[in-house]
């Protein structure tokens, strides 16, 4: 049992291995939040609500001025009747009223967890997860709301989502429908978010909460590189390995909002869900609306433990692909090697070099279809360009397979170029608002995935290409954000639904294609890590982490991405120097170490390398194959934070504890350089470990507490790597 209802106190105690979450019913109808934090055995009314008459706080019961929704810690707050803080949901009735007031209406506790129709969601067996449904109703509006809390006891995770049902006789518009709202009765927090841009995704931003609201969002139609759908509240003393951390990660790939609002009495409202701006939903009588879910993690051992919980949970309870627990192949991708300028001969000689180096998967990137010699044409025309590949995709794939490699293909199925056959035949397939011009992005337009026939077109054309190319791997790209959002196929009152319908259309396409091609390894991409979110991971077990392949930038991007996502979900490639994004020249060894910290790939013209460089790459690949289980399926420990220092270090420990790999990178070579010490984490202190390179033996305790002295080198961007085997 992970949920208990105490009839006498009228409280629900939800608990996992190390976490308790308590919510209760006050005055028969209000659902109040009581506690989220370290596990307690039982709740006996501690941290009771202190009732107080506060100025300007309205009173629903005029006999008691101490009771106000404005000061009540709420579980799913409404708007319009006295709570002036950020509401969790909003409605508009046909009569124009926007007021709503939910009352408690019962509960159910069930073993297991239902899926969310049309949406990605975590899953678990009946003996792994238990769900509490709290039923609420607003009789005046005829609205029913079901709050779902699923508790994964061992995984130490609670998920939340909401279902709205229009039980009235007339339509109702949902104007806001968040998935999570938690009222903390304290404000001693920092807030941590991940912001960025194309080529510079997921920078860590940690700032104290003061007054007012910290809010992040995406209105771009995808989760976006600008803000990641993740927010954590941290105690001020919390760090990687100590202190209270409360994480919220959204299983959704579209517009979102996350916020932390401090009220005048130093309480904090922590919320996450779909972005209400341009995102309402018209609910006809009898219809329901499901929100995506939020995955909530509490840890009292800092960010690293929070990350471990997310990593394990996403690998075990979110990624559906059969690749979730399989080692991923070392790949070569021709993008930075050739861009659009290639032919079959060039690809085959690149592939031959790759196969000789030990590479296992050849990925043909953009430019193989239509007449696409630049990014200005052909999206939507998924037909092989016979000028470049005169023998067709099938034959190219056959030749790659004959070299002993798998064959992978790049596609960008959600898009359409104005210069395409598809556009000439179906201009109406474009996402657009009738009567307004369409805005181009990267010279392309977006398909209207809110329409079933457009989704069908995408599924059919992709299925044909995947079959023709006998593909083992697909890189699914998405290179612009949504503008001019609207659809001629929905009535005016449903135009606010189109952004979400786009995401639902995308999920439907991915659902169908991943079911048709279960043997294919899908890698999601949006100009790199522009849509690196838990929603995409449900369908596609890895993501191209960033278009920025510069090792020094990548250290940071991969470090912060690992706050939520495990290294096995991150595509990481060695590319040429000077680097195409930054112009920086870094040692090949350092580029290798950073890329080896995720799913290793190469993205450069192997034919232009010296024999010495090729030899080094061969060695990297052989070495990576010997450690890849530890990297991809083991545990990551972050040691030195590149956002705070000139160095980064992290290490991996295999699940069986047998192998450990540590990486260290120093960015700039300092004058009067201090000797840096590398301390590993996660080892068995009582065991002995042998360095596979020089045979030296150390105790696990030594490696963790005494540490290793890093050699002094007068070299910028230098890296070191150590591989240990437990004796
Ligand atoms: C953006 C991707 O992130 C790149 O890796 C590459 O696939 C290009 N698109 C191709 O257009």
pLDDT digits (tens, 9 = 90+) for 298-356: 999 999 999 999 999 999 999 999 999 999 999 999 999 999 999 999 999 999 999 99
Which positions ≥6 away from 645 have C-beta within 8 Å?
Answer: none
**In this predicted model, what pLDDT tens digit does every residue of 123-159 receive, in sequence order?**
999 999 999 999 999 999 999 999 999 999 999 999 9
Rg, the chain, Cα only:
27
Tell me if 523 CB under 6 Å of ligand 1.
Answer: no
**In this predicted model, what pLDDT tens digit does every residue of 364-403 receive, in sequence order?**
999 999 999 999 999 999 999 999 999 999 999 999 999 9
Structure tokens at 567: 């290294």
Mean pLDDT of 195-200: 98
Mean pLDDT of the chain: 97
Question: Which residue in 365, 366, 547, 550 is the catalytic one?
Answer: 547
Tell me if 528 CB under 6 Å of ligand 1.
Answer: yes
Q: 438 C-alpha to center of ligand 1: Å?
A: 23
Q: What is the DSSP letter of 712?
A: P
- Work out the pLDDT band at 678, boundaries 50, 70, 90: very high
Which positions ≥6 away from 350 have C-beta within 8 Å?
Answer: 332, 334, 337, 338, 362, 605, 606, 607
478 and 526 Cβ atoms separated by less than 8 Å: yes
From residue 37, give the alpha-carbon distance in Å to each of 14, 210, 247, 579: 11, 21, 11, 45
Q: Residue 546 above 80 pLDDT?
A: yes
Which positions ≥6 away from 351 have C-beta within 8 Å?
Answer: 332, 362, 399, 400, 403, 405
282 and 496 Cβ atoms separated by less than 8 Å: yes
Tell me if 250 CB under 6 Å of ligand 1.
Answer: no
Q: Percent of the chain beyond pLDDT 90?
A: 99
158 and 21 Cβ atoms separated by less than 8 Å: yes
Nearest-CA residue for atom 9 of ligand 1: 527
Residues 28, 103: Cα–Cα separation, whole Å: 8
Phi and psi at 612, nearest 5°, equal -65, -45
Q: What is the DSSP letter of 430?
A: B
**In this predicted model, what pLDDT tens digit does every residue of 255-309 receive, in sequence order?**
999 999 999 999 999 999 999 999 999 999 999 999 999 999 999 999 999 999 9
Cβ neighbours around 205 below 10 Å, total: 16
Nearest CA to 719 out of 593, 572, 575 is that of: 593
- Work out the pLDDT band at 27, boundaries 50, 70, 90: very high
Mean pLDDT of 75-95: 96
Q: What is the edge-to-edge ordering of all strands in the sheet holding 19-26?
A: 3-6, 11-15, 19-26, 30-38
Tell me if 365 CB under 6 Å of ligand 1.
Answer: yes
Q: What is the DSSP letter of 706?
A: I
Q: Percent of the chain beyond pLDDT 70?
A: 100
Nearest CA to 489 out of 440, 457, 453 is that of: 453
pLDDT at site 1: 76
- Work out the pLDDT band at 178, boundaries 50, 70, 90: very high
pLDDT at site 194: 98
CA dihedral 675, 678, 684, 687 (to 10 degrees): -50
Q: Please indicate whether residue 53 or residue 62 has the higher confidence score (pLDDT).
A: 53
356 belongs to the catalytic site: no
Q: 546 C-alpha to center of ligand 1: Å?
A: 10
Distance between first and last Cα of the chain? 41
Residues 4, 7: Cα–Cα separation, whole Å: 9
Tell me if 366 CB under 6 Å of ligand 1.
Answer: yes
pLDDT at site 476: 98
Residue 411's SS3 state is strand
426-433: long-range contacts (C-beta < 8 A, 24 or more apart)?
A: 426/457, 428/488, 429/380, 429/454, 429/457, 431/482, 431/484, 431/485, 431/486, 431/487, 431/498, 431/502, 432/484, 432/486, 432/487, 432/488, 433/484, 433/485, 433/486, 433/495
- Work out the pLDDT band at 117, boundaries 50, 70, 90: very high
699 and 687 Cβ atoms separated by less than 8 Å: yes
Q: 531 C-alpha to center of ligand 1: Å?
A: 13
Which positions ≥6 away from 583 have C-beta within 8 Å?
Answer: none
Strands (E), 415-531: 415-416, 445-446, 473-476, 521-524
- Work out the pLDDT band at 94, boundaries 50, 70, 90: very high
Sign of CA dihedral 543, 549, 553, 555: positive
Q: Residue 225 above 90 pLDDT?
A: yes
Residues 283, 222: Cα–Cα separation, whole Å: 23
Q: 528 C-alpha to center of ligand 1: Å?
A: 7
Question: Which residue in 156, 366, 477, 533 is the catalytic one?
Answer: 477
597 and 575 Cβ atoms separated by less than 8 Å: no
Nearest CA to 190 out of 268, 256, 255, 135 is that of: 268
Give the nearest ligand 1 atom to 526 CA: 3
6 belongs to the catalytic site: no
């Amino acid at each position: 049992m992970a949920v208990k209802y105490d009839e006498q106190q009228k409280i629900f105690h939800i608990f996992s291995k190390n976490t308790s979450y308590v919510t209760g019913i006050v005055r028969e109808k209000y659902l109040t939040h009581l506690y989220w934090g370290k596990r307690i055995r039982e709740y006996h009314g501690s941290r009771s609500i202190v009732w107080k008459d506060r100025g300007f706080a309205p009173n629903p019961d005029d006999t008691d001025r101490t009771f106000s929704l404005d000061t009540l810690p709420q579980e799913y707050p409404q708007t319009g009747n006295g709570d002036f803080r950020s509401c969790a949901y909003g409605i508009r009735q046909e009569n124009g009223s926007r007021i709503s007031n939910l009352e408690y209406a019962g509960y159910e506790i069930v073993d297991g967890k239902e899926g969310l129709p049309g949406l990605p969601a975590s899953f678990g067996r009946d003996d792994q997860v238990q769900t509490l449904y709290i039923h609420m109703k607003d009789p005046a509006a005829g609205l029913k709301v079901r709050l779902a809390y699923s508790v994964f006891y061992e995984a130490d995770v609670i998920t939340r989502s909401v279902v709205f049902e229009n039980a009235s006789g007339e339509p109702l518009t949902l104007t806001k429908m968040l998935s999570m709202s938690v009222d903390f009765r304290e404000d001693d927090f920092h807030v941590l978010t991940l912001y960025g841009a194309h080529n510079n995704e997921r920078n860590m931003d940690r700032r104290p909460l003061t007054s007012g609201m910290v809010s992040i969002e995406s209105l771009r139609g995808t989760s976006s590189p600008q803000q990641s759908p993740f927010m954590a509240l941290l105690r001020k003393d919390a760090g990687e390995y100590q202190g209270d951390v409360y994480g919220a990660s959204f299983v959704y790939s579209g517009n979102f909002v996350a916020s932390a609002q401090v009220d005048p009495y130093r309480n904090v409202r922590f919320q996450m869900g779909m972005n209400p701006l341009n995102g309402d939903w018209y609910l006809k009588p009898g219809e329901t609306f499901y929100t995506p879910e939020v995955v909530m993690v509490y840890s009292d051992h800092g960010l690293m433990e929070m990350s471990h919980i997310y990593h394990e949970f996403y690998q075990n309870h979110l990624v559906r692909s059969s690749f979730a627990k399989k080692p991923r192949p070392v790949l070569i991708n021709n993008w930075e090697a050739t861009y659009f300028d290639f032919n079959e001969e060039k690809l085959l000689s690149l592939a031959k070099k790759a196969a000789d180096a030990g590479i296992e998967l050849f990925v043909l990137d953009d430019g193989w279809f239509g007449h696409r010699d630049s990014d200005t044409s052909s999206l939507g025309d998924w037909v092989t360009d016979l000028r470049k590949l005169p023998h067709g995709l099938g034959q190219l794939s056959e030749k790659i397979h004959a070299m002993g490699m798998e064959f992978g293909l790049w596609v960008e199925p959600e898009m359409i170029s104005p210069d395409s056959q598809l556009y000439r035949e179906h201009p109406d397939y474009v996402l657009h608002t009738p009567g307004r011009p369409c805005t181009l992005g990267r010279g392309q337009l977006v398909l209207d995935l809110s329409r079933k026939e457009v989704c069908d077109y995408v599924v059919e054309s992709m299925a044909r290409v995947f079959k023709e190319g006998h593909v083992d791997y697909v890189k699914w790209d998405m290179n612009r954000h949504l503008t001019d959002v609207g659809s001629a196929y929905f009535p005016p009152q449903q135009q606010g639904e189109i952004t979400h319908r786009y995401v639902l259309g995308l999920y439907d396409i991915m659902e169908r294609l991943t079911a048709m091609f279960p043997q294919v390894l899908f890698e999601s991409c949006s100009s790199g890590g522009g849509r690196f979110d838990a929603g995409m991971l449900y369908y596609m077990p890895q993501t191209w982490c960033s278009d920025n392949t510069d090792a020094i930038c990548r250290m940071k991007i991969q470090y912060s991405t690992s706050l939520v996502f495990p290294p096995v979900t991150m595509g990481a490639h060695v590319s040429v120097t000077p680097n195409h994004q930054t112009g920086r020249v870094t040692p090949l060894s350092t580029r290798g170490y950073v890329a080896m910290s995720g799913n290793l790939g190469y993205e450069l013209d192997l034919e232009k390398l010296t024999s010495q460089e090729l030899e080094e790459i061969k060695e990297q690949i052989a070495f990576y194959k010997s450690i890849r289980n530890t990297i991809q399926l083991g545990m990551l420990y972050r040691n030195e934070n590149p956002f705070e220092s000139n160095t980064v270090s992290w290490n991996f420990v295999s699940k069986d504890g047998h192998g450990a790999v540590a990486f260290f990178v120093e960015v700039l070579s300092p004058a009067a350089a201090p000797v840096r010490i590398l301390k590993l984490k996660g080892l068995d202190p009582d065991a002995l470990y042998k360095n596979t390179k020089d045979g030296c033996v150390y105790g696990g305790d030594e490696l963790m507490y005494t540490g290793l002295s890093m050699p002094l080198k007068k070299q910028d961007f230098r890296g070191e790597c150590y591989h240990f085997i437990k004796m």
